[in-house]
Amino acid sequence: MKEKAGLIPWIETEDGIKMLFMKSSNPAYGGSKWQISKGHMDKGEKPLATAVREAEEELGVRKSDMSNVTLVGKFKLSGDVEDYILHIYKAHMKTTKVGPHDSEVGKVKWMTPKEFMSSGRNIHIPIIKKAS
């Protein structure tokens, strides 16, 4: 079974915990709802390295702004195209600033877990519940 990895950046604000999510620029890749940044693991790449790389590419965050990176868990998911194992990490961020992101990403947004529950990709909701 294929493996992917992703990372959920989070920060504490006066409104509570906020997490950074993305929407694909092409709904054929994950639909039109908010989702966790993730991607396929390159040959020989460890899950954590994949998760950080994908967050940098898709969300525009920097590894140097991350602290307390922890494993949320491994999840067996059925995506639109394939079934896969998803390794999910979360990282406390030192800033909410984000830089440029890949063209495959249409938008990025900081939101509370509750906001994600009402507008996020259904297969990612249990992951956000566990990560919150």
Q: pLDDT > 70: what percent of the chain?
A: 100
Predicted confidence at residue 104, as pLDDT, reads: 87
Predicted confidence at residue 29, as pLDDT, reads: 73
Q: Which fold has domain 2-131?
A: Nucleoside Triphosphate Pyrophosphohydrolase (3.90.79)
Predicted confidence at residue 49, as pLDDT, reads: 98
Rounded CA separation 82/72 (Å): 22
Alpha-carbon distance values, 48 to 16, 72, 111, 128 (Å) = 26, 11, 23, 18
Rounded CA separation 65/7 (Å): 13
Q: From the CB of residue 112, how many other CB atoms can be counted at a distance below 10 Å?
A: 15
Q: Could you tell me where the beta strands, DSSP code E, fall in the chain?
A: 2-13, 16-24, 37-40, 66-78, 83-93, 105-111
The domain limits of the chain are 2-131
Predicted confidence at residue 128, as pLDDT, reads: 97
Among residues 49, 82, 89, the alpha carbon closest in space to that of 68 is found at 89
Predicted confidence at residue 58, as pLDDT, reads: 95
Does residue 79 have a pLDDT over 80?
no
Predicted confidence at residue 72, as pLDDT, reads: 98
Predicted confidence at residue 99, as pLDDT, reads: 92
Residue 68's pLDDT band, with cuts at 50, 70 and 90, is very high
Q: pLDDT > 90: what percent of the chain?
A: 83
pLDDT digits 0-9 by tens, 94-128: 999 999 888 889 999 999 999 999 999 999 999 99
pLDDT digits 0-9 by tens, 15-34: 899 999 999 988 777 778 99
Cβ neighbours for 14, distance < 8 A, ≥ 6 positions apart: none
Predicted confidence at residue 19, as pLDDT, reads: 98
Do residues 24 and 105 touch, judged by C-beta distance below 8 A?
yes
Q: Which two tokens stand for residue 47?
A: 């899950």
